[in-house]
A = this chain, B = another copy of it.
């Protein structure tokens, strides 16, 4: 396939015939989405001179005045800063989630329903929170999970995360929908740095096979097959921010077109195979010797089945709340899963990971107490990267390490093997009586009021 130039692409710039460049490839915005036009020679793309809009000027001012990196004391701080300094559309893409974003927030809420039962008078002079994941020794039990479109947040994209992961000796999971190419990300790694591959399975299995074999050859140490996204979710916050009314016409019937503002991510995800099923797992085992992990498992029955078909692991995850709203949090599914595995003597047969909502070392410790091998962290590192670049990501990781050391001491555990279910109180965890506010519903509700004063009555009498 010959490379397109920016000029060629730019010619297709009308409402009816519009190409867009995504991930170094050009797509036709309105034609069948699974056919892209071809790779683009990005050096040939002319960047339009644009006047700086007042909104953008405001943002530039906020960037100048942004807090120093040292002023960020925890992972949520990076999110607070990123919200102010990122482009609105980039912020929208990263922060948005499915429907009413109930699950997005539940992911953090669920951790708030787990409390500690710390041990005291344990000699915790030395604490060691390193562990292994799929055989790899890591400094701390988290990995950088796969998230799409890293260049929305930072001009260099996912390689920033690669370099920070190397510094802190943690594993990076490489996303299928990265802004950087797979090889760019591999190339950015240190010798011996371990990376995993996250995989959206293509309808065309030949392509999938090529990707998997290439990844194994390049040294990937784990294959994480995403199983919670047969179709990519609608994220309304993102859609709302992207909406522009150029070309819209209130007159025309539009009842049937709802996706004109759903943007790039949707376009590039159309290759994902909704027919992927349990029957495909043996085939994956036949094409790779990487350990296979199912990412996005959400019920204990499916964990058992994963053991049965010989998976090395599962990630209990709801895709950061971006797919099915009202999916339960990974941590809750973990608390449902591990007692069953233990009862059946299967807890050593499979490594169980959790992602979603992890913001504090206490969250990591909770997951480990409940039997997780490790946790994935995604958005927080994107926010740290978007606001402060590689230094930001490194500081975020460093903060987690400091919290981890402190909190291992405070819970009375010298190593991760000493963390157990007796150290947490999960009695409130399953109580779904309390959930996140539905802001949309709250905002449209018009609360009752008492009778108002009859203003003007007094004046009228004068």
Contact B451 A447 (CB under 8 A): no
Known: A65-B455, A67-B453, A255-B394. 13 other contacts (CB 8 A): A65-B456, A67-B452, A70-B260, A71-B451, A105-B445, A115-B432, A116-B327, A228-B410, A234-B406, A274-B409, A328-B425, A433-B434, A440-B449
CB atoms of A68 and B248 under 8 A apart: yes
Number of identical monomers bound together in the oligomeric complex: 4
Q: Indicate whether A362 reaches chain B with its CB closer than 8 angstroms.
A: yes
Closest 9 pairs (CB-CB, A-B): A428-B432, A80-B450, A431-B433, A255-B394, A67-B451, A439-B447, A324-B410, A125-B275, A120-B227
Which of A136-144, A290-298, A340-348 lies at the interface with chain B? Answer: A290-298
Which of A96-104, A152-160, A208-216 contacts the other chain?
A: A96-104
Among B234, B323, B362, the residue within 8 A (CB) of A73 is B234
- CB within 8 Å of B: which residues of A? 61-62, 64-74, 76-77, 79-81, 83-84, 91, 95, 99-102, 105, 108, 112-125, 167, 227-228, 230-231, 233-234, 236-237, 239-240, 243, 245, 248, 250, 253-258, 260-261, 273-281, 294, 296-299, 301-302, 323-328, 359-360, 362, 366, 391, 394-395, 397-399, 402-403, 405-407, 409-411, 425, 427-435, 437-441, 443-458, 461
Residues of the B chain whose Cβ atoms lie less than 8 Å from the Cβ of A398: 255-256, 258
Residues of B within 8 A of A260 (CB): 70
Contact A250-B123, Cβ < 8 Å, known A237-B448, A444-B450 = no
Residue among A95, A119, A237, A323 with most chain B CB within 10 A: A119
Q: Could you tell me the dominant secondary structure of chain A's interface residues?
A: loop
Q: Are A123 and B395 in contact (CB under 8 A)?
A: no
A247 CB, nearest partner CB in chain B, Å: 10
In the complex, which of the residues B69, B112, B125, B394 contacts A250, with contact meaning CB atoms closer than 8 Å? B69
Query: CA–CA, A397 to B258, complex, Å?
Result: 12
Contact of A451 among B80, B248, B441, B457 (CB under 8 A): B80
A69 contacts across to B, CB distance below 8 A = 250, 254-255
Contact in complex: B448, A121 (CB < 8 Å): no
Q: Which residues of B have CB within 8 Å of A359? A: 441
| A371 CB → nearest B CB, Å | 18
Among B117, B297, B407, which residue has its beta carbon within 8 angstroms of that of A120? B297
Of the residues B61, B261, B425, B456, contact of A432 by C-beta under 8 Å: B425
With CB as the reference atom, state the residue of chain B lying closest to A113.
B432
Bound-state CA distance A256–B449 (Å) is 23
Q: Which residues of B contact A276 (CB under 8 A)?
A: 121, 123
B250 near A433 with CB under 8 A, answer no
Known: A430-B427, A450-B440. A120 touches B302 (CB 8 A): yes
